[in-house]
Structure 1
Amino acid sequence: MTAGPGRAQAPSGEVVELRVHGVSSAGAAEVLDRPLVRQVAGDRSAGFYRPRPGLSDERGTGGVTLEAYRWSDLPSGTALRTLSLLFLFPFMLINVAVWMRPGDALGGAVVRALCRVLGLSLTSLYVLAGAGVALDLVAWQCLSSPACLSDREWLSWLGGRPVGLRLVVLALVPSAAVSLLWWGARRPGRSFTAFRAPERASAGPPLSTIGQWDTEPLMGRLRSIHIAAAFATLDGSLLAARAAQGVPPAVAALLAVTGAVLLACVVLVCVPPLVDRAPGDPRRDRIARALRATAIALTVAVAGHLLFAPARWRADGGLPGYGSILTWLLVTHAVLLGALGVVLLWHRLRARGHQPPNGLGALVVAAAAGGLAVAYSAELVQRAADLLDRGRSPADALPGPARAYDWAIYGFFRALLVTLVAAAVVALVSRRGRTRAAQAVVERDFPAPPAEAAPRLRQVRAAIVRARFTDLLVPLAVLFAIMAGAGAATTAMALLRPDPGEALQRRTHVPAELVMFGIEVGGVALSAAVLAVVVAAVFAYRSPGFRRHVGVLFDLATFWPRSAHPFAPPCYAERAVPELARRITFLVQSGNGVLLAGYSHGSVLVAATVLQLPAEISARVALLTYSSPLRRLYARLFPAYVGDEMLCGIGGRVGWRWLNLWRDTDAVGGWIFSPHRADEPAGITGPAATVDRRLRDPDGLVAPPGDSVPPPIKGHWPAESDQAYGAAVRDLAARLRAAAP
């Protein structure tokens, strides 16, 4: 990335400390810790900044030239984007689950295929939720009820019309929603085109492929398949209602074509050559587009049949077939989750030196995605029913759909409640062990504290105890995944026609009213959460500071390229990583050494960037990471992309000019290679043993002279103001200068 007109070029013969912030950064001035900054490259969405010339503290520690890369506006944005997070979050989660696959080729391929089929099921679930409101509640039930149509002029014009016409007109609502998703998913991918690196074959670690290939053609095929599945799901709902009145040959033929389209969608998302390879192959593009065109033409044919073919509609109760389709979809989703769990557990049991729970990240995230999608869909239908009901229409007595959604909300609420209770139990049971470990850390860091420091010691110990709870989240997440999968499976009870309260009262003697009260509480809690996100979106639009905090979810979920679901937001790393690589290349070719400093999630960005640098460029690069989650979180959740081999590869590329700063009070970041202290031998040998440097936190227990409060407990806060950070910068800058040709 070259500097634009009027922007300063980087001076040669210096060391440039290029800082990359983590999620939710306030701005370049905060990252550089300088009040006045200027942009030297990039644009308004992401750019490179330096202190303004003439400042007394223009340079950094050791005389380095300060520069910051600010990327926080790539994933975060306006209120519209924040609102879209609410509805697209399940799609983002299932997309992240694909990248949590095992490292071996066979296990990774199976996990990828299962996650993509799960993504298809989420698309169909959303379409069924729209069909539940538009077709079942409005077209089928409300338009047949004079009480529901009373004082609703916007609906009364359809009252008394033929049932087929009502279904076709109201089917335009889910069709428009699918078209809106289609349009919205096509726009973001174009904005990063100028920043993509040229495609090249890479034999390096898998993480080095981030931003190295154009995902838009591949996402175009996957998008066409999902559009086809969406319209086929809508067609199935309409044809099921028609088939309940009789199955003439035309309906049978349309049903057969609908089933064939859905089967083709499932098969195609599991075929790697179509979705994962040959991004510029027009033949594969034509296959996906042909399937999409077939599904759209089928929708037109179904609408024409409902409009012009004679039928005796019995418009009583709920929309025929809708409840069965919904229930079987949820059961299929549970079966897919079970298959994913079996594959992941089998793979982790075969891997030596790893605990099985550490390899189940894909199952946890996929279960969370499914649970949220089911909960959103159920709430949409139930709240629409409440709106239409007014206590007089039959909308509150939906026979099939209400039971399926009741079971779905019950399953999600039960999984969440059990997990929260288990988390409380684990926190209490493990607290003694975590407290002993924290006490040992405090005693070694502050061997002779003054008597007045006792309250501060308790605060430090409590911070370490809380930070160590992060390591216990893996089994809790696995428990949630298991409970969420079981909750989806219990939706099959809707096929047996009991309500959750009635079924549990017969089996466990728990009062049915208590169960239904729990379901209502879960529904109200979910509605409150949805309302809170809407309110947060409004504040995010009005307050840049609040918007940055809301955008944390986007920052974490959209680092990985879209691979499982095309309606997820685009990957900002497709711009950030190539842009960083270009800037570093420009600085090195200008005669500078580059000290690449990554904080928190920024350390993941710089790791992917280093893996993409040519050898002649990385020879003039040093790496400083602090509060880094690479080992603690990413190595556990993404074993195929972050592991010992990849981390050692990064160290080798920069000539082991790498330092990592970490604190015991940090609940997110941690050590990379070894958790040893400065006065202890490392548990490993070789250059990797020199990478990690532990920081004592806080710097002291009592207020220093001239201050009224003791030094703060920093935890996961940035370390640029720490003396240890300055020492690390001086160390790495000296190594870079010594390695200069």
Structure 2
Amino acid sequence: MVELRVHGVSGAEPTAILDQAPVRQVAGDASGGFHRADRPDDNPDGRTLEAYRWGDLPSGTVARTLSLVLLLPFMLSNLAVWMRPTARREGAWVTSLCRLLALDLTVLYVVSVAGVALDLLAWRCLGAARCRGPFDEVSGLDGRQVGLRLAVLSLLPVAAVAFLRLLGTRRPRPTGTSLWVVEPLVGRLRAIHVAAALAMLDLILLAARVSVGATVVTALLLTLSVAVLLACAGLLVVPGLLDRAAMRERVTRTAETLRAVAVGLTGATLAAIVLDERAWPSAAALPGYDTIATWALLAEMILLVSLSALALWHRNPGDRHRALSRGLGAAVVAAFAVGLAGAFSANLVYQSGNLLDGYRGDGGPPVPYQWTLLSFFMHVTVGVLVCVALTRLSRRRRRRAAASVTARDFPTVPPQGAGRLREVTRAVARARFVEWVGLLAVAWATLTMIGLLAGLLRLVDLTPDELATRFFRLPVGVVDMGLALGSYSATAAVVALLLGGVFAYRTPWFRRHVGILWDLGTFWPRAAHPFAPPSYADRAVPELAHRITQLTERYDGVLLCGHSHGSALLALAVLRLPPHVRARVALLTYGSPLDRLYARIFPAYLNEEVLRQVGERIDWRWLNLWRDTDPIGGWIFAAHRPGDPPPDPTDPAGRVDRRLRDPSDLLPAPGERCPPPVRGHHPGESDPEFRAAVDELRARIQGFP
């Protein structure tokens, strides 16, 4: 018998997973491999331990982990598309809105880089204003024709798109394996996003050129650029168009044609503005750029509010997880993606202008970015206040529920155990905060109105200074302070993410608590944004299924033990196993978030129906261990708490879950000085309850009841 253990997001070392040293790798590579003890202990029961370590698949090196910070808004927008609700019609529209929003993030990225390269450097620093040296004489372009300056510095946004393309490239495939599946949508999405990015760059250049009058050439190029943008959006907005097998070849050819047309348009646009010898307007800012940036930011907020409204409108009364199963998870994660992308873009333009001193004397940075920084600061402030308020308001109910749990677990408490009982009750109360995630999602989704309101105010040509002085009678310094705070908040977010990426890679404790963002965000394949980090599940899941198949050919049975996120990898691997392999496999999950988190956040993909399929395929040789003190894991089908009604005896799913009392006792055992610890989300492979579950499942594989 082989006991195959798969760790969670903590990224534990094989020696810790196996509790043996030294270990040797028997399959896989350095990023994801299978390990066994070099000199395994004697196992009279015939059990062989093996560990699958996948912790380096999401990140790997420090440099790659830091690159995830730059791709974080794209990663979140891609994660949102997998949070679609269960209803087919609403789910299809949520998918379309998420893909449109992801496309707008790419457009906004190009607009912000163009704001630095074209508006700040080419137009202001080399023309209307004089920036700090050496940026007032960039590559000898000072005094050159405006069209030539714009054309040369347009290479910066093009290089920025190529840089994103490079960061989103998958690492080389491991040698000797063909298990790494290609994500089917990435090629089509990448062609669409590249075409839209180049078309937006052309639109910025042509809008500035036609501000003094359009020629036949510039009018034609402008029309074609708008047509390419609309065609890219059209391919994404039609529900299911990108996913239909019958349309796959046609959509691929269309997307690649759009990309080729966009490349040709960009070359023609650069040539047109260089060869056009007409005079340019003497404006302080690049003509048309302010309007384009406004609509790019406003489109984000319109899509985000539409996504939130669709999720709130959707009803599914029979679902246990009503709030998040309506798709609110998609709206919340998309709100984070939009907020971070807007803040990063606005801060890039704002801080670049301050660094180069290119915004003096003309009203400051572009107005849409002023509103974005202010709304980001307001959103963060209000969001923190809402989280604090919800935490305090829910504390009494959580403690009351926790007290009922500990009262049933420890009905008789000696006087010396009263303090310990209070500690355990607090641990259970903290773990139950996840039950309030749905209400928090509703509150956070409604905060998207802040960004929409800021965009509408800019649309009516109302600046933050005018709003403060005309309507609220506030001094202008208040607006400047708000802009500075918004910029500092965005900078602090970037610094915190960079430090988090370093510590998540180097510090196991930090990775265990924060690394879930990276591991969960890169778990799902790229179905919305092609520049998101590559998925690791399309390697890990087939690799696990292949290894399980190999082991069943050499051993009598394989017991799969998955902790935390490892339980999700194993559950998906079970769905890929052929029938003759499933007959010799059993599953043990512990600290599993399959129902408590994943079924709520991803209701269309990891719902109860899918989980029942997992149990049916292995003939319900499945046990799930959970604790009330665990803030992440929980039961999957039935809680089995003391006092709960017994499940249906005819339903095999009711026998999957096993609740563990945590801690095992309040007082130290005889001869011990310290009481048993609160295990919480700790794996606990050496606990007696875990070993008992292993023995039971081994007996089931061998055909014993």
- Please, what TM-score do these two structures have when normalized by structure 1? 0.89
In structure 2, distance between residues paired with 1:684 and 1:355: 23
The residue correspondences of 1:20-169 to structure 2 (distance < 5 A) are 20-53=6-39, 55=40, 57-59=41-43, 63-144=46-127, 147-152=130-135, 155=138, 157-169=140-152
**Equivalent of residue 655 in structure 2, options 683, 690, 705:** 690
**Equivalent of residue 546 in structure 2, options 579, 582, 599:** 582
Root mean square deviation, CA, Å: 2.6
Once the 2 structures are TM-superposed, how far is the Cα of residue 649 of structure 1 from its aligned partner?
Answer: 1.5
State the AA in 2 paired with 1:692.
Answer: D
What does residue 517 of structure 2 align with? 553
In structure 1, distance between residues paired with 2:611 and 2:253: 41
Residues 294-324 of structure 1 show CA distances to partners (whole Å, capped at 9, x for unaligned) of: 1011111111011111121124321111111
Once the 2 structures are TM-superposed, how far is the Cα of residue 448 of structure 1 from its aligned partner?
Answer: 2.0
Once the 2 structures are TM-superposed, how far is the Cα of residue 97 of structure 1 from its aligned partner?
Answer: 1.1
Once the 2 structures are TM-superposed, how far is the Cα of residue 485 of structure 1 from its aligned partner?
Answer: 4.5
State the AA in 1 paired with 2:489.
Answer: A
Residues 658-713 of structure 1 show CA distances to partners (whole Å, capped at 9, x for unaligned) of: 11111111111111111123786534442111111111112222333454332221
In structure 2, distance between residues paired with 1:549 and 1:131: 37
In structure 1, distance between residues paired with 2:319 and 2:598: 19
State the AA in 2 paired with 1:736.
Answer: I
State the AA in 1 paired with 2:339.
Answer: G
Once the 2 structures are TM-superposed, how far is the Cα of residue 536 of structure 1 from its aligned partner?
Answer: 4.6
Question: 5+ residue gaps in structure 1?
Answer: 1-14, 198-210
Once the 2 structures are TM-superposed, how far is the Cα of residue 614 of structure 1 from its aligned partner?
Answer: 1.6
Given that 1:677 and 1:693 are in contact with CA atoms closer than 8 Å, whether structure 2 keeps it comes out as no
**Equivalent of residue 254 in structure 1, options 217, 221, 233:** 221
State the AA in 1 paired with 2:87.
Answer: D
Once the 2 structures are TM-superposed, how far is the Cα of residue 240 of structure 1 from its aligned partner?
Answer: 1.2
**Equivalent of residue 633 in structure 2, options 669, 692, 702:** 669
In structure 1, distance between residues paired with 2:176 and 2:223: 44
Given that 1:82 and 1:551 are in contact with CA atoms closer than 8 Å, whether structure 2 keeps it comes out as no
Greater shift, 279-288 or 460-469, is seen at 279-288
Greater shift, 425-434 or 568-577, is seen at 425-434
Residue aligned with 1:635, SS:
helix
**Equivalent of residue 443 in structure 1, options 396, 399, 407:** 407
Given that 2:561 and 2:567 are in contact with CA atoms closer than 8 Å, whether structure 1 keeps it comes out as yes
Residues 219-244 of structure 1 show CA distances to partners (whole Å, capped at 9, x for unaligned) of: 11110110000101111111111121
Given that 1:228 and 1:261 are in contact with CA atoms closer than 8 Å, whether structure 2 keeps it comes out as yes
Residue aligned with 2:168, SS:
helix
What does residue 353 of structure 2 align with? 385
In structure 1, distance between residues paired with 2:170 and 2:614: 34
Residue aligned with 1:623, SS:
strand
What does residue 612 of structure 1 align with? 576
What does residue 5 of structure 2 align with? 19
Residue aligned with 1:661, SS:
strand
**Equivalent of residue 426 in structure 1, options 385, 390, 394:** 390
In structure 2, distance between residues paired with 1:628 and 1:184: 32
State the AA in 2 paired with 1:223.
Answer: R
Once the 2 structures are TM-superposed, how far is the Cα of residue 357 of structure 1 from its aligned partner?
Answer: 4.8
In structure 2, distance between residues paired with 1:633 and 1:366: 18
Question: 5+ residue gaps in structure 2?
Answer: none
Question: Cα gap change, 1:705/1:349 in structure 2, threshold over 3 Å: closer, same or farther?
Answer: closer
Residue aligned with 2:659, SS:
strand
Greater shift, 321-330 or 358-367, is seen at 358-367
In structure 2, distance between residues paired with 1:351 and 1:700: 38
Residues 99-120 of structure 1 show CA distances to partners (whole Å, capped at 9, x for unaligned) of: 1112333222221111111111
In structure 2, distance between residues paired with 1:194 and 1:561: 23
- 1:655 and 2:619 aligned: yes
Given that 2:571 and 2:614 are in contact with CA atoms closer than 8 Å, whether structure 1 keeps it comes out as yes
Residue aligned with 1:673, SS:
coil
In structure 2, distance between residues paired with 1:396 and 1:48: 63
In structure 2, distance between residues paired with 1:542 and 1:654: 38
The residue correspondences of 1:466-481 to structure 2 (distance < 5 A) are 466-481=430-445
In structure 1, distance between residues paired with 2:168 and 2:373: 29
Question: Cα gap change, 1:351/1:402 in structure 2, threshold over 3 Å: closer, same or farther?
Answer: farther
- 1:521 and 2:457 aligned: no
Residue aligned with 1:625, SS:
strand
Greater shift, 508-517 or 334-343, is seen at 508-517
State the AA in 2 paired with 1:48.
Answer: F
Question: Cα gap change, 1:472/1:354 in structure 2, threshold over 3 Å: closer, same or farther?
Answer: closer
Given that 2:130 and 2:136 are in contact with CA atoms closer than 8 Å, whether structure 1 keeps it comes out as no
In structure 2, distance between residues paired with 1:352 and 1:493: 39
Once the 2 structures are TM-superposed, how far is the Cα of residue 504 of structure 1 from its aligned partner?
Answer: 4.7
What does residue 327 of structure 1 align with? 294
Once the 2 structures are TM-superposed, how far is the Cα of residue 423 of structure 1 from its aligned partner?
Answer: 1.6
Given that 2:31 and 2:60 are in contact with CA atoms closer than 8 Å, whether structure 1 keeps it comes out as no
Residue aligned with 1:602, SS:
helix
Given that 2:241 and 2:247 are in contact with CA atoms closer than 8 Å, whether structure 1 keeps it comes out as no
Question: Cα gap change, 1:183/1:649 in structure 2, threshold over 3 Å: closer, same or farther?
Answer: same
Residues 10-65 of structure 1 show CA distances to partners (whole Å, capped at 9, x for unaligned) of: xxxxx211111101222111111112211111111111111223x4x3549x5521
Residue aligned with 2:102, SS:
helix
- Please, what TM-score do these two structures have when normalized by structure 2? 0.94
What does residue 202 of structure 1 align with? none
State the AA in 2 paired with 1:234.
Answer: L
What does residue 680 of structure 2 align with? 715
Question: Cα gap change, 1:507/1:626 in structure 2, threshold over 3 Å: closer, same or farther?
Answer: farther
State the AA in 1 paired with 2:267.
Answer: V
Residue aligned with 1:738, SS:
coil
Given that 2:125 and 2:135 are in contact with CA atoms closer than 8 Å, whether structure 1 keeps it comes out as no
